[in-house]
């Protein structure tokens, strides 16, 4: 498969009164065409900020200070943040849907007005064609009676239906990549499953790639082909879904998997939480950010700066000095 998007050493900072917050600190990842990847991490680890940076949607006091976002051979960060070139990428080439379906639609415009706006803008459709396409899209995402409901306002829709509309909107201009920033967090579990399944189908139908940003390992386990685990603004482990769940190597990933129950495990395993809290991203030490919470730490960890991502296996990378291999296998017992 060919590579579609590559992010290299992305750094996004926020200037606050108490100091410089490095929300994203040297993030690198890539997406192939028609691939589904998962970006997993806990709250505040920079997942959303990294995706907003790719779209250049960071507002002051935030600033993208380094790195590159290569999409179809060009560095998107070279474009002016609100210039016409960047705007023609947003929505048309890379689309994004957000966490809160309840507030992601403009309450004073009808669903139809919002769906057709982008079709007219990016696809240069006329109003009639755009309306027809909008109804088609609404049918595709499973909204019944789309020809009537297109003139409804967002408050006539439930949360799940609004997220369906958001997905329809995201895919309306046939983007190459759909970034779903915690798309199902605000919804109940049944709706979550329906939506994710629908989203997967839609992405396949439109031949787009999908980035699922989430803190829910269950979501990515089912849908993603590759997974990136993020901690304190960096990728700490990356690999195929099978590797991450079957042979996790970074202490953080191991910790994450130890604190959630699995259906396929033996009875009686205790769930072990990761002790401590995520670090404050202001004035981070050069050493590994996970060090204070790590149960595998070795002497080298305190002396050397955070290591680079090193391969442990084909396409499986970790950012760690400690040899977690034996301990990991013994701890899963």
Rounded to the nearest 5 degrees, what angle is found at the Cα of 135, between the Cα atoms of 131 and 140? Answer: 145
- Measured CA to CA in angstroms, residue 261 lies from 65, 72, 269 at distances of 39, 40, 9
Residue with smaller CB distance to other proteins, 55 or 257: 55
Residue with smaller CB distance to other proteins, 55 or 281: 55
119 sits in the region (left: phi over 0; alpha: psi -120 to 50; else beta) called alpha
**Which DSSP helix (H) or strand (E) runs through 226?**
strand 226-231
- Measured CA to CA in angstroms, residue 91 lies from 97, 119, 229, 328 at distances of 10, 10, 26, 42
Q: Find the shortest distance in angstroms from Cβ 244 to other proteins.
A: 22
- The interface with other proteins within residues 196-235 (CB under 8 A) comprises 197-198, 201
109 near other proteins (CB under 8 A): yes
Q: Find the shortest distance in angstroms from Cβ 305 to other proteins.
A: 35
* Binds other proteins (CB under 8 A): choice among 74, 103, 204, 329: 103
Residue with smaller CB distance to other proteins, 83 or 276: 83
Q: Find the shortest distance in angstroms from Cβ 74 to other proteins.
A: 16
Beta bridge pairs of residue 317: 238, 311
Q: Find the shortest distance in angstroms from Cβ 36 to other proteins.
A: 16
Whether the bond into 274 is cis, omega within 30 of 0: no
Alpha-helical runs (H) found in the chain: 47-54, 84-89, 111-122, 127-140, 146-149, 159-171, 189-205, 217-223, 241-246, 251-258, 299-303, 325-331
The residue range among 33-41, 102-110, 248-256, 318-326 that interacts with other proteins, by the rule CB under 8 A, is 102-110
* Binds other proteins (CB under 8 A): choice among 39, 105, 146, 281: 105
3-state secondary structure of 187: coil
Site string for other proteins, 134-173 (x = CB under 8 A): --------x-xx--x-----------------x--x----
3-state secondary structure of 227: strand
Q: Both ends of the chain: CA-CA distance in Å? A: 37
121 near other proteins (CB under 8 A): yes
104 near other proteins (CB under 8 A): yes
The residue range among 117-125, 203-211, 271-279, 312-320 that interacts with other proteins, by the rule CB under 8 A, is 117-125
Site string for other proteins, 52-81 (x = CB under 8 A): ---x-x--x---------------------
- The interface with other proteins within residues 14-53 (CB under 8 A) comprises none
Backbone angles phi, psi at 14, to 5 degrees: -120, 125
Give the integer Cα–Cα distance in Å for 130 and 125: 6
- Binding-site residue total for other proteins (CB under 8 A)? 39
Residue with smaller CB distance to other proteins, 114 or 238: 114
106 near other proteins (CB under 8 A): yes
Give the integer Cα–Cα distance in Å for 219 and 208: 19
* Binds other proteins (CB under 8 A): choice among 47, 90, 176, 293: 90
Residue with smaller CB distance to other proteins, 200 or 215: 200
**Which DSSP helix (H) or strand (E) runs through 39?**
strand 36-40
**Which positions touch other proteins (CB under 8 A)?**
55, 57, 60, 82, 84, 87-92, 95-100, 103-109, 117-118, 121-122, 142, 144-145, 148, 166, 169, 193-194, 197-198, 201
């Amino acid at each position: 498969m060919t590579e579609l998007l590559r992010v290299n050493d992305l750094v996004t900072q926020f200037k606050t009164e108490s100091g410089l917050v490095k929300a994203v600190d040297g993030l690198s990842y890539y997406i192939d065409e028609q691939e589904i990847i998962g970006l997993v991490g806990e709250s505040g680890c920079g997942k959303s900020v990294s995706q907003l940076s790719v779209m250049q949607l960071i507002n002051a006091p935030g600033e993208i200070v380094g790195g590159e976002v290569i999409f179809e051979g060009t560095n998107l960060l070279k474009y002016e943040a609100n210039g016409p070139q960047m705007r023609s990428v947003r929505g048309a080439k890379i689309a994004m849907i957000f966490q809160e379906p309840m507030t992601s639609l403009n309450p004073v415009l009808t669903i139809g007005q919002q769906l057709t706006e982008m079709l007219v803008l990016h696809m240069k459709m006329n109003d009639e064609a755009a309306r027809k396409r909008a109804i088609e899209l609404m049918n595709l995402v499973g909204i019944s009676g789309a020809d009537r409901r297109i003139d409804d306002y967002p408050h006539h829709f439930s949360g799940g239906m609004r997220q369906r509309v958001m997905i329809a909107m995201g895919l309306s201009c046939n983007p190459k990549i759909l970034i779903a920033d915690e798309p199902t967090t605000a919804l109940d579990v049944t709706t979550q499953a329906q939506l994710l399944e629908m989203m997967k189908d839609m992405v396949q139908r439109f031949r787009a790639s999908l980035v699922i940003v989430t803190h829910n390992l269950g979501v990515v386990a089912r849908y993603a082909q590759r997974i990136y685990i993020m901690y304190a603004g960096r990728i700490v482990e990356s690999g195929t879904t099978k590797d991450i769940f079957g042979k996790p190597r970074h202490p953080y990933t191991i910790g994450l998997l130890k604190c959630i129950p699995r259906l396929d495990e033996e009875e009686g395993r205790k769930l072990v939480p990761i002790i401590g809290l995520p670090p404050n991203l202001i004035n981070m030490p050069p050493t590994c950010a996970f060090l204070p919470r790590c149960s595998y730490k070795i002497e080298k960890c305190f002396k050397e700066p955070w290591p680079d991502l090193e391969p442990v296996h084909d396409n499986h990378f970790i950012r760690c000095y400690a040899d977690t291999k034996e301990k990991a296998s013994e701890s899963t017992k």
